[in-house]
Amino acid sequence: TYVVLKVQNLKSSTIDKTGCEPCWEQDFMFEICADGKGFIIELWKKGLLWDSILGVLWIPFAAVEYATDEGPGSWWTLHSEVIKNGYEIQGTKTPTAHEILLDVYFALPF
């Protein structure tokens, strides 16, 4: 499995890991515009011919706090559907059996 993070027009992913409880321990850092609404986390399963999505999560920027250091993180339930208003993502729905531990925070520029 691997994780894909999409924010505004940027996209980054982890390497793929095996096992039923993979741990990526990977930091993502993006410079973003203040006009964004949130970001998407996707969990994918690597396939022989094609990959399949295990779950998706929309995190609005309003739910993200500022921090100066890493924290313990929070468990987030992944969903199977993305809610859109036209081309704009509004959220996710229909929980799956998958959860992901994320430590999400805003950091001030260096």
Structure confidence by residue, pLDDT tens digits, 81-90:
999 998 888 8
Please state, in angstroms and as integers, the Cα–Cα distance from residue 52 to each residue in 3, 31, 43, 59, 70, following that order. Answer: 12, 29, 9, 21, 30
| pLDDT of 65 higher than 80 | yes
36: which 2 tokens?
């964004």
State the Cα–Cα distance between residues 110 and 106, nearest whole angstrom.
Answer: 12
**CA-only gyration radius of the chain, Å:** 14
What does pTM read for this prediction?
A: 0.88
Whether 93 has a pLDDT exceeding 90, the answer reads yes
- If DSSP codes are grouped into helix, strand and coil, which group holds residue 10? strand
Listed by start position, the domains of the chain span 2-22+35-107
pLDDT of residue 11: 93
| 2-22+35-107 to CATH, choices 2.60.40.150, 3.30.110.30, 2.40.30.10, 2.40.128.50 | 2.60.40.150
Q: What does pLDDT average to over the chain?
A: 90
pLDDT on residue 3: 96
